[in-house]
Amino acid sequence: MRTKGKIWYVTALAFVYLVLCTIGSAYYISLHFRPNTAIVSVAVQLLCLGMAVAAGLYFFRAGLGHKALIALTILTLLAVGTSDAKAFGFHFCVLLILLIPFVTSVVFHIYSCLLFLHRLSFPWR
pLDDT tens digits, 30-85? 888 888 777 778 888 899 999 999 999 999 998 899 999 999 999 999 988 878 88
- DSSP summary character for residue 61: S
List C-alpha distances in Å: 33 to 20, 26, 36, 48, 52.
21, 11, 10, 18, 21
Q: What angle do CA 48, 88, 80 make, to 5 degrees?
A: 55
Q: What is the pTM of this model?
A: 0.82
pLDDT tens digits, 12-29? 999 999 999 999 999 988
**Interhelix angle 62-80/85-121, nearest 10 degrees:** 130
pLDDT at res. 95? 93
pLDDT of 123 above 80: no
Contact 6, 58 (CB under 8 A): yes
> What integer is the mean pLDDT of 87-115?
89
pLDDT at res. 36? 79
